[in-house]
Structure 1
Amino acid sequence: MCHTETAPTVLLGPQLNRKLSRPMARKVLTSLKSILKDAQRRGNVAQNVAAAVVIKKDKRTENVKLKVGVDIPTTQEVGVIIGAAKGRWRPVLMTAAFVGLRASELRGLRWKDVDLKGEKIHVRQRADRLNQIGRPKSAAGDREIPLRPIVLQTLREWKLVCPKGDLGLVFPNGDGGIENLSNILQRGFQPAQVTAGVMVPAKDEHGKPLRDGNGKPVFVAKYYGIHSLRHFHASWLINRKADGGLELPPKEVQTRLGHSSITMTLDVYGHLFPRGREDVEITDLERSLSLA
């Protein structure tokens, strides 16, 4: 009897009942409140039933530090993910990883704000979850970011075939309009991870592994949101030059990420900054004392 080897089941996007992190749940709730508020103003609903809803902090997980390989893609993972990205998704993911823009900033980025000759991007606007164009999240969000040679080359090539539209967007949809975040995730980021083999076993709401009808494990893309590429960018800015990073000081990292305060930068990424050479210096001191 002949047995046929079947490929593992892979789930993407809405096919997976995946729990949202608290920060992501807060963002979704904020969007829902905005939608209902607008609907109430138009007279389409009697009240904003989400207005009083809050998402409480989980003291067990609220202060958990981001981990490389868990929350932050490794350098090797980013390389294979971008390498596996097809068509218009490659320049999007390349820019997310090596420029560190928020998803809203990527979606609202205009060609007039990309200086290919000056080798920099000026962030001046964003597209929110309702596809509304507006100013950056804060005054600090309006910033200039230098471009790496590989990003410059990718954007030059992409500009030649980029769909044209009245908004002049760098990463528009096929009609030149504002691209939906769900498309970037479900058609670009997640499939690229699957193609690259950057996957993890899927789990149900109780934390148990999911299996398909044949009893085989079900796999999903390892990193759900594109914000993980922004985390990677932050870690690259922070890492020592000897480890392939830029080794920038906290204030410069804050500026490039567009954080409104240095406190925000340190709260999220402070544990990634090099701790110096105290252990080496102490060892040297002990050696010198023993020889005295």
Structure 2
Amino acid sequence: MRLRTLLGDHPGTAALKNGSIRSNLVELDFVPYSPTNKGFKPMVREAAFDVSEMAIVTYLMARSFDKPMVLLPDVVLARFQHGHALYHAKAGKLSPHDLNGKRVGIRSFTTTTGAWLRGILANDDGVDLDSIDWVTFEDAHVAEFVDTTKRAGAGKQIIQMLVDGELDAVLGEKSDHPDVKPLFADIAAEEKAWFGKHKVVPINHMVVASRTLSEQHPDVVREVHRMLAESAAASSAAPRFDRHEMQRSLELIITYSAQQKLIPRAFAVDELFDDVTRALR
């Protein structure tokens, strides 16, 4: 069976994408999207792929609107988030505790990195997220989500707005501009302390399959998982999550997403899977 597939270039997908890992049951037809996250919207809105990489917050939101896809227990991107928050240094020193009432830019309010960072800021640094003047540049992947943030003007660029003093801080970005500094001053120390507290590595992207594929061809979905798992095992740089580590990470991003009203309620982790994929965890 040939499957229309969206997967980015990650350490854990390399062996799969270069043909080192093959199957007698499945052939993956990779559809190029650059960056990969540009393919998440057509997957959510049009069911464009049989198998797709997917930002976990986008999946949670899609799940809340009963979009026809199911989660596989395969992580392709995970990272600590503290290094993806920046501020405009020329305007004076800014720390996470100073964000209340500030103008903060983010590509889309529903990005997974943004949800992780807001959760960290609210729960670990005491930031009042409702006090912030949020400025966004794109709509959500899930069309039904009602975005109440302020939209940046046409043609505006997020880092340039920060440099120009139109924003005080941004989330979800990296920059080497000399006027831009990390919001968390000692990123490594912050990440170590945060992990010590929560015992969580933040999951960014996992893999989903169409609900139809899972219902009609469960053997194919199981084979896709086998291939993903073998590809991940072939790289020492691929994310490594056992069942309990994945559970903790998913529980925390579910909590953060519910707190931020990205989803109407906190799902149980088991709800994210169907009978086929739940058995693969």
TM, length-normalised to structure 2: 0.28
Quick check: which has more Rg, 1 or 2? 1
Higher RCO (CA < 8 A, seq sep 6+): 2
Greater strand content? 2
1 or 2, which has the higher helix percentage? 1
TM-score under structure 1 length normalisation: 0.27
